[in-house]
Chains A and B, each alone.
Chain A
């Protein structure tokens, strides 16, 4: 693909990238803390990954290999267009293979293949503030973070158990990072929460509309909130993947016809393809 001319490397100008890198450095230094930054207008609508794109644009170099996933898949609209965006504006190599990528921008999933040191996982975040649902005032939520005043977060989990008999929150499940900051892991399924814990890769979170960046550095403790008598647990399925037979991956339900036919397939398309074989 030809590289677009007339744009700076990776679209954003250098001053903006410096500003975002400063925010990222601060975020890495204080795991889980939301750093405000001057979010820019990007050539795609809010909610499509403007935060993630800005973070990726600031950390990407010409030697990087980029992978973009949307709900685990490499071939959905959002993933394809963001991948092409960076191929055109930065001329970087792109891949669908988790193991080959140095930067993975993701929406709503963490790849099944374990990440390694040196890789960067960039999350697109719609709402960064975990306390927002119970406290609408920003001044107050900041104070609650500053004082680590997080007890009320369990009210939400209590309410889940009272209504459903178990913790029914299944995505964007709140976590405590490094025993200090409460963090929203973006709308990944809670199936992926354990993968964040002590992950060797650097995890960066960008919220474009809300203008916040936060991070989980490599090998950082990430604990999902729970009750003693209702411990945190991940989703399980009775089926395995209809394509590759995997029993250990996050499965999507796919409707195959209008007579009630349905199959379960891996949501991580690269993992599934890799298991089927070349």
Chain B
């Protein structure tokens, strides 16, 4: 089972006309592994994540995903209904702005239950039970299940988005700046929660961020991007403690030392 990677990316490029979004990206992601992607803004992190998660077709290259039955599928060659189903069951996307990932007009419970209903669950009590259980896991009080997300704080919204994404039991989660826009103490709690969930559920994840502290905590492996290309890749601690590429050295040394 573990002989094929969960996600295999080969020669992935995305151009915007003459401009480069990302170029010649290759990597394998294994089950249960967390990959961090760091780089300054404009370095192509989000373009890469969009291509990986099937939301933006690449200009060249392949993204292959290993299904539960062990067969491999090319993400951009598979029929759209299957890709949609995959995105709603085996995958999750956590957006930087929780408002992009949530339905702000319906209650928290409905937000968490949506993926279950989308794959055909039709028992109200079970859906609600699952929603309540997930809210508890992400430390949101059970009494707030019927409240609108508009009444939630920023940190709660992000946690609600995580619950909504994980409820379908995905094997791979894409996170775009999961802690962006949160204050430091809330960030710490969220990271703690994420790390616990990723370990408990054996999730594989791709985490895009510009915050090196986040990848140090979450990611096993790290890719450093600059101008659309990967300049350095390796184990997180290795890259951060012994950066080889001048840009990585700059990045690491630019963190405030306390």
Contacts from A to B (Cβ < 8 Å): 134, 143, 147, 149, 151-152, 154-156, 158-159, 161-163, 226-230
Contact = CB atoms under 8 A, between A and B. Distances in A.
B84 A162 contact: no
B133 to A, nearest CB: 16
A243 to B, nearest CB: 39
B127 A158 contact: yes
Contacts of A228: 122-124
A159 B118 contact: no
Given A155-B113, A155-B117, A162 B107 contact: yes
A162 B114 contact: no
B109 interface: yes
A228 B119 CA distance: 15
Nearest to A156: B106
A48 B127 CA distance: 41
A147 B81 contact: yes
A149 B120 contact: no
A181 to B, nearest CB: 15
Contacts, number: 56
B128 interface: yes
B124 A151 contact: no
Closest 8 A/B residue pairs (Cβ):
A151-B118, A154-B117, A227-B124, A228-B123, A147-B81, A158-B110, A159-B106, A159-B110
Indicate the size class of the contact surface on chain B: 20 to 34
B100 interface: no
7 contacts: A147-B81, A151-B117, A152-B114, A154-B117, A155-B114, A228-B122, A228-B124
Nearest to B145: A162
Contacts of B81: 147, 149
B106 A147 contact: no
A175 B154 CA distance: 37
A155 B110 contact: yes
B124 A161 contact: yes
Contacts of A147: 80-81, 84
Contacts of A154: 117, 122
B8 interface: no
A155 B103 contact: yes
Given A152-B117, A229-B123, A162 B128 contact: yes
A155 to B, nearest CB: 5
Given A143-B80, A159-B110, A162-B110, 20 more contacts: A147-B80, A147-B81, A149-B118, A151-B114, A151-B117, A151-B119, A152-B117, A154-B122, A155-B114, A156-B106, A158-B106, A158-B109, A158-B110, A158-B113, A158-B117, A158-B128, A162-B109, A162-B128, A162-B146, A227-B124
Nearest to B108: A162
B125 interface: yes
Nearest to A148: B81
B254 to A, nearest CB: 41
Contacts of A151: 114, 117-120
A103 B125 CA distance: 44
Nearest to B123: A228
Nearest to A227: B124
Contacts of A152: 114, 117-118
Contacts of B145: 162
